[in-house]
Amino acid sequence: MSGELVLVTGGSGFIGAHCVRHLLQAGYRVRTTVRTPGRQADVRALIAAAGVEPGEALSFATADLLTDEGWPAAVAGCDYVLHVASPVPLVEPRREEDVIAPARDGVRRVLAAARAAGVRRTVLTSSFAAVKFGQPGKRIFTEADWSDPAGGETMSAYAKSKLYAERAAWDLVAETAGAGFGAGPGGEGMELAVVNPVGVFGPVLGPQPSLWADLVGKLLDGRQRAVPRMWVNVVDVRDVADLHLRAMTDPAAAGERFLASAGGMSLPQLAALLRDRLGDAAGKVPTRTLPDWAVRLAARFSPRAAFVVPELGAPRQASSDKARQLLGWRPRDAEEAVLAMATSLTGRGPDT
């Protein structure tokens, strides 16, 4: 029960809410950002849905990734920052910069404010999307890999936003390494660590936008009538929150990035898992598989379909050996994560 103060940006989001809950259960005081004061009640409801009554241990700050205003007050007095907030569009935007700008520029705002406030370490939530694109033929990825937007693959605005935001964070560390930023264990200045989750599943606490909750919801209610042979790497949101806490406190995590994955399955396998394990609640889950040629044809006209094409066929997997070996991270298996999300979406209550 440390009582140290941690800022979590985006506490109303899927990952952010679980990070808040995890920190409170570990005895930390938590401050989280909301874009408008009216969202405070929503965040408290999410945490209560996870079985935690935060009381005075949870406080709020109003700040927006697109402006400087509010960030100095948000980080004031904090020992650590978990920068989780980032736009998560469920459809491809007309202007990709509408997604990229808040992610990329927001990182620089948060890190600059945290450094000025004397924050000990910031953990950035990045993505496997910052790792896997533009490397034809590669099937197993590690933290040494970086996506290449010029590599010939279609990258969504969201994928680009995560890549550019993480690059901006590490560039800022490099630019200011001699001025009290990113000095590493035992040195002066603020440290940075990065978590790169794959597809995040697990219990949904409320109506937060989530790419994978949207997909599982469409499978369960029949809106998704067929599934492509797309490979999905899976990790449970509870284990993502746990890895954030490990990256925040472990001296070995300073200056490192960590892929977070529990394994994976194809979408047809995921659909079959839902049908086999959820009974009547999965009665509308499709049994039909889309042929690859149909997905490729649709990709000529649909950005969403174009995003699926690189994931067809042979899987591209993320190695979590670094997180397991360096930080002792032990995630739930992929099937448990998928079923926990589906169960929470069917109204049976989140398995927290």
The catalytic residue positions are 162
- The answer to whether residues 266 and 231 touch, using CB atoms and an 8 Å cutoff, is yes
333 DSSP 8-state letter: P
- The answer to whether residues 45 and 11 touch, using CB atoms and an 8 Å cutoff, is no
Distance CA 7, CA 82 (A): 6
The three-state secondary structure class of 197 is strand
- The answer to whether residues 28 and 3 touch, using CB atoms and an 8 Å cutoff, is yes
Which of 194, 195, 123, 199 is CA-nearest to residue 158?
Answer: 199
- The answer to whether residues 74 and 61 touch, using CB atoms and an 8 Å cutoff, is yes
Distance CA 273, CA 285 (A): 10
- Distance linking the first and last C-alpha atoms of the chain: 21
As a whole number of Å, the CA-based R_g of the chain is: 20
Distance CA 110, CA 229 (A): 39
The three-state secondary structure class of 195 is strand
Tell me the angle at which helices 40-49 and 14-25 cross, rounded to the nearest 10 degrees: 70
